[in-house]
Amino acid sequence: MVNAKQDMDNVNKEDWEERAAALSSLISPFIEGEYIDSGSEASFTKYNPADGEVLHQLPEGAQQDVDKAVASARRAFEDRRWQGLPLSERKTILLTLADLIEANSQEIALLDAIEVGKPINDALSIDLPLSVGIVRYCAESVDKIFGQSSFVDDSSLAVVTRSPRGVIAGSIGWNFPTVLAVQKIAPALATGNSLVLKPSELSSLSALRIGELAIEAGVPAGVLNIVPGIGATVGNALALHHDVDMISFTGSSATGKRIMQAAGASNMKRLLLECGGKSANIVFPDFEDLDAVAQGVFGRMFWNQGQVCTAGTRLIVHNSIKARLIDKLAQIIEALRPGHPLDPDANFGPLISKLQMDKVLAYVDHGRSHGASLVYGGRPILEESGGYYVEPTIFDEVTSDMVIAREEIFGPVLSVMGFDTVSEAMRLANATDYGLSATVWTTDVSRMHEVMRSLRVGELSINACPRPSAGAAFGSLPLEPHRQSGFGVESGGQGLLSYTALTSVQIHTQRS
């Protein structure tokens, strides 16, 4: 275990590589608090995003893996080994888990950097503190979830209780492995459920490590089971399983729709879906500090190489300032330091896979050939490394009917559109099938109110594009995606309630 409080000033790329070589890459189902052999003989090859070399292989997963995990979670739920604990004890265990994640943050950050290509400093300074904060928030909420009661008359009491839903299946994407894992684990366990977690086949290691730490923290075996594997096998089996009470999913809208179909075809399990986005970043001319806007737009768009569901992929900017803002963005990109994820000096890494790189470059070619003006980037970089690096890309003169403006690219490709009136800006912003998030830059309070009423999104930032660690509100504010970005409420106190079921009780204390 690496001490998270160790001074990082003198840790270089070679030090990180030495630590990486010493890490375990065991990937198999983690059920009843221990690793077991998968029932699958087929394997999936995971390649290193930084150099294209084979990183490891993992089982594709099998129906029997899922059946074992769900049966274990069901036993743990029914015998009340977790939900039956005093709230104070459950809270203490989850706080201990947060402490253990924090103490092992360098190791976990290293796992994410290796598998995803995330710059190690981003993983350490953003992902891990955020993950620890989410677990602590949920832990502190354990004893603050209440039902309701009301006296109906002198002999009757109406009570509404909240109880855990049962066996939850969590399925997560690959772009923020640790953050997404705890976003499923912490609220599910805080509310007394059992959880079967399926990490992405592209990023399984940190979720499995957190599973080990949960056992160390005191979470009873069987309460948290982790089944790695591919979506077509493990994910589909969970979606169709008749003994899963709820699915909490983070990933693409296409997969979310398939989960909805599977839930309906099986046992009508409850769903919480946080899916894709095509978020707008809207800049009005009254916000005069274009340097601040450029920094905010850049961070919202190109952080994590654009592989973020809330990335501000559509820049909708007033025509009077559009050219100047594009120039400032280009200057910021010029100062980027793309490089190996384990190089502490690098602040821009590779994409997750060759498949993703090819997909992003295909979108670039499509934009170029369908009338958009390529003003920056649009090509592979660091090709000698063998890694999957794509230069930050800016298209101008984009229209809402273009593919690059409609579809989620999940890469560093920004589409710029100009406007002259507020109504035009709102029309452009809402011209999408998605409704996850948006950002607006204006100092006009009346205009703020207007865009708050007009934008069809679940999350709105005004005059800031903060990375999650920049504000304590992230993880404590609820998010309800609109339209094809999903449905249900995740995060915050209201998000915790998504993992509970309501029961209405009428108590009559005497005969009439």
Number of helices (H) and strands (E) in the chain: give both, helices first: 17, 22
What are the DSSP calls for 239-254, one per residue?
Answer: HH-TT--EEEEES-HH
Q: Of 67, 43, 66, 45, whose CA–CA distance to 54 is shortest?
A: 45
**How far apart, in whole angstroms, are the C-alpha atoms of residue 139 and residue 285?**
43
CB-count exposure of residue 325 (10 Å: 0-12, 13-18, 19+): buried
Q: Report in angstroms the alpha-carbon separations of 35 from 181, 293, 422, 490.
A: 18, 48, 57, 30
Residues labelled catalytic: 274, 309
Read off the tokens for 112.
Answer: 């994410």
User: How do beta strands 270-274 and 486-487 pair?
Assistant: antiparallel
Please state whether beta strands 393-396 and 373-376 pair in parallel, antiparallel, or not at all (unpaired).
Answer: antiparallel
Contact present, 449 and 291 (Cβ < 8 Å) = no
Reduced to 3 states (helix: H, G, I; strand: E, B; else coil), residue 128 is helix
For residue 435, CA distances in Å to 279, 280, 329, 459 come to: 7, 10, 25, 9
* Best CA proximity match to 198, nearest among 241, 152, 161: 241
Q: What DSSP line would sit under 318-333, residue for residue? A: ETTTHHHHHHHHHHHH
β-pairing verdict for 167-171 and 194-198: parallel
> Alpha-carbon distance 284 to 442, whole Å?
6
Residue 341 DSSP label: T
Nearest to 371 by CA among 391, 399, 413: 399
Query: Closest Cα partner for 314 from 407, 233, 245?
Result: 407
Contact between 76 and 82 under an 8 Å Cβ cutoff? The reply is yes
* Tokens 């025509």, residue located: 319
E-strand ranges in 180-256 read 194-198, 224-226, 246-250
End-to-end CA distance of the chain: 67
Q: Quick one: which H or E segment has residue 72?
A: helix 63-78
